[in-house]
């Protein structure tokens, strides 16, 4: 059974270095460019957990419509 989760490690510039998850969810992540090498800092992608955590220096959770990019509205993301 799919947990519907992706675990990500990003560098200090918000670039995805590694990710792991079930096949179905990784395919969905590919569709939104949530893949190794992708840039997720705020100036590239707008409000998102990775970029916002880096910009504020705090742990954050970004849910649905809080994401700047509309295609991310079906996702909930957390970063620290």
pLDDT tens profile 44-64: 999 999 999 999 999 999 999
In this prediction, residue 1 carries a pLDDT of: 59
Q: Print the domain residue range for 18.
A: 6-79
Model pLDDT for residues 20-52, shown as the tens digit of each residue: 999 999 999 999 999 999 999 999 999 999 999
Domain count, the chain: 1
Residue carrying structure tokens 């990784």:
26
- Closest by CA to 26, choosing from 3, 44, 51, is 3
| Domain contains 68 | yes
Residues 14 and 50: beta-carbon distance below 8 Å? yes
Cβ count near 22 (within 10 Å):
14
* 72 burial via Cβ count (<10 Å: 0-12, 13-18, 19+): buried
| Domain contains 59 | yes
Residues 42 and 48: beta-carbon distance below 8 Å? yes
| Domain contains 1 | no
In this prediction, residue 18 carries a pLDDT of: 98
Please state the pTM of the whole predicted model: 0.91
| Domain contains 17 | yes
Q: Percent of the chain scored above 90 by pLDDT?
A: 96
């Amino acid at each position: 059974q799919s947990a519907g989760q992706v675990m990500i490690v990003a560098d200090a510039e918000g670039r995805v270095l590694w990710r792991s998850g079930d096949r179905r969810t990784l395919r969905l992540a590919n569709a939104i460019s949530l893949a190794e090498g992708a840039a997720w800092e705020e100036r590239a992608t707008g409000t998102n957990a990775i970029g916002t955590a880096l910009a504020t220096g705090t742990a954050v959770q970004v849910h649905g419509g809080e994401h700047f990019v509309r295609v991310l509205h079906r996702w909930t993301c957390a970063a620290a």
